[in-house]
């Protein structure tokens, strides 16, 4: 299996296959940090929204005729 992987890597161009411009390590690190911060803030915002909706739903259910469903 290892020989297959080496053979595949030797026959196919692995570095910059579509001729994209090269990005330095500092820029890669910057992109990774910005992307991570964006997605972590998005996840935290989503958690807050879901938490609010859950408590709002519980409040509405406790006020309505479905009260017997909540223990």
**What residue segments make up the domains of the chain, in order of their start?**
23-71
CA angle 50, 55, 59 (to 5 degrees): 145
Return the pLDDT at 71.
55
pTM for the predicted model, two decimal places: 0.40
Placement of tokens 């935290």 in the chain: 44
What would the pLDDT profile of 21-58 be if each residue is shown by its tens digit? 677 788 888 888 888 888 888 888 888 888 888 888 88
Provide CB contacts within 8 A for 68, sequence distance 6+. none
């Amino acid at each position: 299996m290892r020989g297959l992987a080496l053979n595949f890597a030797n026959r196919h161009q692995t570095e910059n296959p579509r001729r994209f411009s090269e990005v330095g390590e500092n820029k890669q690190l910057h992109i990774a940090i910005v992307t991570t911060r964006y997605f972590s803030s998005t996840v935290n915002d989503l958690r807050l929204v879901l938490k609010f909706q859950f408590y709002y739903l519980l409040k509405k259910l406790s006020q309505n005729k479905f009260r017997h469903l909540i223990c």
